[in-house]
Amino acid sequence: MRIAPADLAGVARFILSPECQSIGILTGAGVSVASGIPDFRSAGGMYDLLRPELITANNYERNRMQQDPTYVVSWDLFCYNQFPNLVVRRPFILGTREQTWKATFAHRFAELLCVKTQKLARIYTQNIDGLDRQCKKIPPEKVVSVHGSIAEISCENCEHQADFEEFCDAVQTNIKDIYKQDSKAPESSTPILCTNCKQPMVKPSTVLFGRSLPSEFFERIQEDLPSMDLLIVAGTSLVVSPANRLCYSVPDKTVRVVVNREPVGVDLGLDYSVDSERDFYAQGECDDVFLELAQHLGWTDDP
């Protein structure tokens, strides 16, 4: 059994050592907050700003959204009424096209890790913001969007892939703006039809509550986890399953480093005691911790 690093300098030494050949990263909302994207559940997030009374829906649907904001991104609602999902996502969809939000240093650290060590096996991101894709030196196949991506468009009915730019144009012309950010938005919403099946089921490929995760997630963890030497968990509460299974599905030999504002995953078997044999907790904002780690690795001196 390996001995867990005692500090970030020890994490850096382990990353550069021959013992460490395969590194996985599991990320959550905490790696993106520095870009200006609020957590859905935080003040100013999608659920906090939800205005059911302004959304095209019947009274039952509005009441359900009022009682449980997650209903707005559920399959139960979308399969009957597509407008709530598209209305609340409208600023996020169009902001993604404009690259309103930029990759943070936490994202760039993963890019450095990939380029400088060639040890990055995979990034498993629970975020739908697509900021990992802005790091062009990370091969696309090394990023698994566990809950889908706002920048990938498909039809929930026939699975036809749609063009992101064309979809954004349709959102601008067909979907009303309840946030009063776009003076050219229509007064009322009209359906966006799939070009293949002609059903109004086209949307960003984000996973709706009640739907299965992409098969890629399950395929990749079967491929990656058995040989993983280091798992970095960053900016996630580790309460969402099955993404959190990575923590307890890696081999016993895998060193686990958690970067977060508060300790998480104790109920999953993470051990933050001083005599922990495999786990290390780095408390703080993700960007701050990864910058310090990059300094220990000697990666901040490059032009």
Residue type present at position 94: L
Q: Which residue has the tokens 């450095």?
A: 112
Rounded CA separation 121/114 (Å): 8
**What's this model's pTM, rounded to 2 decimal places?**
0.92
Encode pLDDT of 117-150 as tens digits: 999 999 999 999 999 999 999 999 999 999 999 9
> What pairing do the DSSP bridges indicate for beta strands 202-204 and 153-155?
antiparallel
Confidence tier at 231 by pLDDT (50, 70, 90):
very high
Q: What is the pLDDT of residue 74?
A: 95
Length of the chain counted residue by residue: 303
| Whole-angstrom distance, CA of residue 242 vs CA of residue 204 | 21
> Is the pLDDT assigned to residue 104 strictly greater than 90?
yes
Is the pLDDT confidence value at 39 over 90? Answer: no
Walk me through the domains of the chain, giving residue ranges and CATH numbers: 8-35+103-149+213-297 (3.40.50.1220), 52-100+153-204 (no CATH)
Q: Is 108 helix (H, G, I), strand (E, B) or coil?
A: helix
Tens of pLDDT, residue by residue over 171-211, are 999 999 998 999 999 999 999 999 999 999 999 999 999 99
| Integer Cα distance of 21 and 24 in angstroms | 10
Q: Please list the residues that pair with 153 across neighbouring strands.
A: 162, 204
**Cα angle value 300/301/303 (rounded, 5°):** 100
- For the record, the structure tokens of 248 come out as 């307890």
- The answer to whether 177 and 66 have CB atoms below 8 angstroms apart is no
Beta-bridge partners for 66 = none
If DSSP codes are grouped into helix, strand and coil, which group holds residue 303?
A: coil
Runs of H (alpha helix) within the chain: 8-16, 59-67, 75-78, 83-97, 105-117, 164-174, 215-224, 245-249, 286-297
* pLDDT of 250: 97
In the block, tokens 């062009």 appear at 136
Q: Are strands 230-234 and 255-260 parallel, antiparallel or unpaired?
A: parallel
